[in-house]
Chains A and B, each alone.
Chain A
Amino acid sequence: MSRLVVWICGSGAAFADAAQPLSPTNIFAPASTPAKSIFGLSLLVLAVTGAIFLIVFSLLLYSVVKFRKRKSDDGREPPQVYGSNQVELAWTVIPVLIVLALFMATARVIASVQGIARSDNAIEVIAIGHQFWWEYRYPALGVVTANELHVPVSDDNHPTPTSITLLSADTDHSFWVPRLAGKTDLIPNHPNSMWFDPHQVGVYLGQCAQYCGTQHAKMLLRVYVQPRDEFDRWVHEQSQPSQIGDNTSAGERIFESTACINCHTVAGTVAHGRFGPDLTHLMSRETIAAGAAPNTPENLRLWIRKPDAIKPGSLMPAMQLNEQELDALTAYLETLR
Chain B
Amino acid sequence: MSTESIAWPSATAESRSFVDRLHDWIATVDHKRLGLLYIAYALVFLLIGGIEAILMRIQLIRPHNNFVSPQVFNRLFTMHGTTMIFFVVMPVMFGFANYLVPLMIGARDMAFPRLNAFSFWMTAFGGLLLYFSLVGANGLYGAGNAPDVGWFAYAPLTSQTFSLGHSTDFWTLALLVSGFGSIGTAINIIATILCMRCSGMTLSKMPLFAWLNLIMAGLVILAVSPLTAAQIMLLIDRYLGGHFFDTQAGGSAVIWMHFFWVFGHPEVYVLVIPAFAFASEIIPVFSRKPIFGYPVMVGATVAIGFISMSVWAHHMFTVGMSPAANTFFVISTMAIAVPTGIKIFNWLATMWGGKIEFKTPMLFCIAFLFQFLIAGLTGVMQAAAPFDWQLGNSYFVVAHFHYVIVGGILFTLFAAFYYWFPKMSGKMYSETLGKLHFWLFLIGFHLTFDFMHIPGLLGMPRRIYTYEPGRGWDTWNFIVTIGVFFQAAGILVFLGNLLWSYFRGKSAGSDPWDAWTLEWSTNSPPPAYNFYTIPTVQSRRPLWDLKHPDDPDWKYE
Binding site for B on A (CB under 8 A): 9-11, 21-28, 35, 37-38, 41-42, 45-46, 49, 52-53, 56-57, 59-60, 63-64, 67-70, 73, 77-84, 87-88, 91-92, 95-96, 99, 102-103, 105-107, 109-111, 113-115, 131, 166, 170-172, 174, 176, 178, 181-185, 187-190, 192-193, 205-218, 220, 312-313
Q: Is the CB of A59 within 8 A of B348?
A: yes
CB closest residue in chain B, given A93: B338
Q: Number of B residues whose C-beta is below 8 Å from A?
A: 99
Q: Do A174 and B71 contact each other (CB < 8 Å), given the known contacts A210-B154, A217-B467? A: no
CB closest residue in chain B, given A73: B355
Contacts of B467 in A (CB 8 A): 217
Q: Is the CB of A313 within 8 A of B294?
A: no
Contacts of B295 in A (CB 8 A): 83
Closest 10 CB pairs of A and B: A182-B389, A25-B459, A23-B472, A217-B464, A192-B320, A188-B247, A83-B293, A23-B458, A49-B377, A189-B247
CB closest residue in chain A, given B553: A80
Q: Is the CB of B323 within 8 A of A114?
A: yes
Q: Is the CB of B320 within 8 A of A187?
A: yes
B370 interface contact, C-beta 8 A: yes
CB closest residue in chain A, given B514: A77
Q: Is the CB of B292 within 8 A of A217?
A: no
Q: Is the CB of A95 within 8 A of B338?
A: yes
A68, B323: Cα distance in complex, Å: 50
A178, B455: Cα distance in complex, Å: 12
Contacts of B373 in A (CB 8 A): 53, 56-57, 60
Partner of B288, one of A78, A96, A185, A216: A78
Name the segment of B4-12, B378-386, B414-422, B481-489 touching the other chain. Answer: B378-386
Q: Is the CB of A214 within 8 A of B326?
A: no
A151, B334: Cα distance in complex, Å: 37
Q: How far apart are A96's CB and chain B's nearest CB, in angstroms?
A: 6
Q: How far apart are B548's CB and chain A's nearest CB, in angstroms?
A: 8
Q: Is the CB of A190 within 8 A of B326?
A: no
Contacts of B377 in A (CB 8 A): 49, 52-53
Q: Is the CB of B341 within 8 A of A170?
A: no
Q: Is the CB of A67 within 8 A of B330?
A: no
Contacts of A9 in B (CB 8 A): 457
Besides A60-B370, A189-B250, 4 more A-B contacts (Cβ < 8 Å) are A67-B287, A82-B293, A92-B342, A102-B384
Q: Is the CB of B348 within 8 A of A60?
A: yes
Q: Is the CB of A182 within 8 A of B318?
A: yes
B61 interface contact, C-beta 8 A: no
Contacts of A184 in B (CB 8 A): 318, 320, 389
CB closest residue in chain A, given B351: A63
Partner of A174, one of B294, B393, B459, B556: B393
Q: How far apart are B302's CB and chain A's nearest CB, in angstroms?
A: 14
CB closest residue in chain A, given B249: A189
Q: Do A102 and B461 contact each other (CB < 8 Å), given the known contacts A83-B293, A181-B389? A: no
Contacts of B464 in A (CB 8 A): 207, 216-217
Q: Is the CB of B156 within 8 A of A26?
A: no
CB closest residue in chain A, given B453: A10
Q: Is the CB of A217 within 8 A of B253?
A: no
Q: Is the CB of B157 within 8 A of A41?
A: no
Contacts of B346 in A (CB 8 A): 88
Contacts of A211 in B (CB 8 A): 74, 150, 154, 157, 462-463
A190, B322: Cα distance in complex, Å: 13
B14 interface contact, C-beta 8 A: no
User: 8 Å CB contacts to A: which residues of B453-479?
Assistant: 453-454, 457-468, 470-473
B179 interface contact, C-beta 8 A: no
Q: Is the CB of A99 within 8 A of B384?
A: no
Contacts of B548 in A (CB 8 A): 77
Interface centre among B250, B348, B459 (most CB of A within 10 A): B459
Contacts of A81 in B (CB 8 A): 289-290, 292, 349, 353
Contacts of A218 in B (CB 8 A): 466
Q: Is the CB of B342 within 8 A of A171?
A: no
Q: Do A95 and B254 contact each other (CB < 8 Å), given the known contacts A64-B366, A78-B289? A: no
CB closest residue in chain B, given A311: B70
Contacts of B345 in A (CB 8 A): 91
Q: How far apart are A66's CB and chain B's nearest CB, in angstroms?
A: 9
Contacts of B326 in A (CB 8 A): 110, 114
Q: Is the CB of B318 within 8 A of A183?
A: yes
Contacts of A187 in B (CB 8 A): 247, 253-254, 319-320
B310 interface contact, C-beta 8 A: no
Q: Is the CB of A103 within 8 A of B70?
A: no
Contacts of B393 in A (CB 8 A): 174, 176, 183, 209-210
Question: 22 A-B residue contacts at CB 8 Å?
Answer: A11-B454, A23-B459, A24-B470, A45-B381, A67-B287, A67-B352, A67-B353, A69-B358, A82-B556, A82-B557, A84-B293, A87-B293, A91-B342, A95-B341, A99-B337, A106-B330, A114-B323, A172-B156, A182-B386, A214-B74, A215-B70, A217-B467
CB closest residue in chain B, given A21: B472
Contacts of B161 in A (CB 8 A): 170
Q: Is the CB of A189 within 8 A of B370?
A: no
Partner of B251, one of A82, A171, A189: A189
B507 interface contact, C-beta 8 A: no
User: 8 Å CB contacts to A: which residues of B314-355?
Assistant: 318-320, 322-323, 326-327, 330-331, 334-335, 337-338, 341-342, 344-346, 348-349, 351-355
Q: How far apart are A48's CB and chain B's nearest CB, in angstroms?
A: 8
A182, B464: Cα distance in complex, Å: 19
Q: Do A67 and B354 contact each other (CB < 8 Å), given the known contacts A92-B338, A95-B337, A220-B468? A: yes
CB closest residue in chain B, given A210: B393
Q: Is the CB of A188 within 8 A of B253?
A: yes
Q: Is the CB of B472 within 8 A of A26?
A: yes
A38, B466: Cα distance in complex, Å: 28
Q: Is the CB of A64 within 8 A of B381?
A: no
Q: Is the CB of B380 within 8 A of A45?
A: yes
Q: Is the CB of B341 within 8 A of A22?
A: no
Q: Is the CB of B349 within 8 A of A87?
A: yes
B356 interface contact, C-beta 8 A: yes
CB closest residue in chain B, given A103: B331
Interface membership of chain B positions 279-292, coded 1 if the CB is closer than 8 angstroms to chain A and 0 otherwise: 00000000111101
A90, B473: Cα distance in complex, Å: 42
